[in-house]
Amino acid sequence: MAKKLVTDLEVAGKKVIVRVDFNVPHKGEEITDDNRIVAALPTIKYLLEHDAKVILLSHLGKVDYKKTPEEIDAAKKKNDMVIVARKLQEYLPNNKVTFANATRGEELENAVANMNNGEVVLMQNTRYEKGESKNDEELGKYWASLGDLFVEDAFGSVHRAHASTVGIPSALPNAAGFLVEKELKFLGDAVENPVRPFVGILGGAKVADKLKVINNLLEKCDTLIIGGGMAYTFLKAQGKEVGQSLVDNEQIDYCNQMMAKAKELGKELLLPVDTVVAANFPDPIDGPIETEVVDSDKIPADKQGLDIGPKTAELFANAVKAAKTVVWNGPMGVFENPVLAKGTNEVAKALAETEGTTIIGGGDSAAAIKQLGYADKVSHVSTGGGASLEFLEGNGLPGVDIINEK
């Protein structure tokens, strides 16, 4: 059944708690990428235009409570949400945005009590509360007591059962926001009802990180492309020498099982036929590096693969251009280095030239497609790497599962 949407709620005059994803990259007080704030605006503006009182909750960065009190305080200072409040006010010049520098207590409660319709209160970082990531029941109920309704619009956090994503909607009438609706539609349609040919592209470092995704996508797609560091485990499983390349030796058998499964299902599984190698991993990561291109079965014993080669890039790009649906999760190499970004760039360019539906599954793939300038040329760039990965694995998302059905 379909989930309730924000448009199904009577919000006028109501205090609506919205879990947003304002976990934005920043240097000091400067936000270096505000895409996640922009992505949340449609839901926020809808609520404001319909005379709601909007209470926004989000985390920013991490706070490790196993560290020393001094380190915890430093993490909190680094991830103060006040910088987000300032940016949000710029996007909402006609609406009052109040920053409540607290996660519970009198300051927060007064800020909420003094709201008028069409105003916003942004609460301090949810992870300032130790119980947030543990889905502490008391904390979830306390936050829920601040509002009348709850809207889930933080796709980047719905794979986590936290107090702000699961605890609050457990205690309030709830619905999904426009961003979560959009994410679920693109990913759901692509995986469950794709226009074929359907091509899946998986990259990144380790096979172990994407065991279930490989297995699930093999059953759904027509062609599965494996690049990035994880490809070398597949190559080693084929009996090829991979030199010093990253290999997950515990997953050799699994790779053989997946290659056998692809053959059994009549699916095409594409692996690199050539690779860019170097003697050492770049240090710093974007620093100078000497490379050469070799066939994938001729990687020197003293070198490691760090990007797909030009023949592989062409092979992968041709498969992508022939597709009607493409889902991409994980870069083809160490894209942070311009010398080692060519493979990722060629795949990104192919996606930009594909006429079908092209979906980038968040995380490093989203960072790569933006860095390379193709973000506006694909159908959808997910705001949640971890959540999209869980979705592609075929798993439930706690923050979505808790939302009421229509």
Q: What is the CATH code of the structural domain delimited by 6-181? A: 3.40.50.1260
Spatial separation of the C-alpha atoms in residues 137 and 115, rounded to whole Å: 26
What is the distance between the alpha carbons of residues 205 and 29, in angstroms, rounded to a whole number? 31
Query: Candidates 3.20.20.220, 3.30.420.40, 3.40.50.1260, 3.30.360.10; correct CATH number of 194-393?
Result: 3.40.50.1260
Instruction: List pLDDT tens digits, range 18-45.
Output: 999 999 999 988 999 898 999 999 999 9
Under the banding of pLDDT at 50, 70 and 90, the label for residue 394 is: confident
- Looking at residue 260, what is its pLDDT? 97
Least trusted range by pLDDT, from 54-63, 203-212, 372-381: 203-212
Q: Which two tokens stand for residue 188?
A: 């759901």
Residues 6 or more apart whose CB falls under 8 angstroms from that of 321 comprise: 350, 353, 354
Report the run of H or E that residue 121 belongs to, with start and end.
Answer: strand 120-123
Using DSSP bridges, classify how beta strands 380-381 and 357-360 pair: parallel, antiparallel or unpaired.
parallel
pLDDT tens-digit readout, 251-307? 999 999 999 999 999 999 999 999 999 999 999 999 999 999 999 999 999 999 999
How many residues belong to the chain? Answer: 406
β strands within 178-250, DSSP E: 198-202, 223-226
Same fold, 6-181 and 194-393: yes
Q: Write the pLDDT tens digit of every residue in 146-159.
A: 999 999 999 999 99
Give the span between the Cα atoms of 249 and 233, in whole angstroms.
7
The answer to whether residue 348 scores a pLDDT higher than 60 is yes
Q: Which two tokens stand for residue 5?
A: 């949407």
CB 165 within 8 A of CB 19: yes
What's the pTM value of the predicted model, to 2 decimals?
0.86
Residues designated as active site: 36, 206, 363, 386
Which helix or strand (DSSP H or E) is residue 27 part of? strand 26-27
Cα Rg for the chain, rounded, in angstroms? 23
d(CA 318, CA 195): 18
How many other β-carbons are positioned within 10 Å of the β-carbon of residue 188? 11
229: closest CA among 254, 247, 208? 247
| Order of strands, sheet of 120-123, starting from the edge strand that comes earlier in the sequence | 97-100, 120-123, 53-57, 15-19, 149-152, 174-176
Q: Where are the domains of the chain?
A: 6-181, 194-393
Q: Is 164 helix (H, G, I), strand (E, B) or coil?
A: helix
According to DSSP, residue 328 is labeled E
Confidence at residue 2, expressed as pLDDT on a 0 to 100 scale? 87
CA-to-CA distance for 333 and 226, rounded, in angstroms?
11
Cα torsion at 316, 194, 390, 185 (round to 10°)?
A: 130
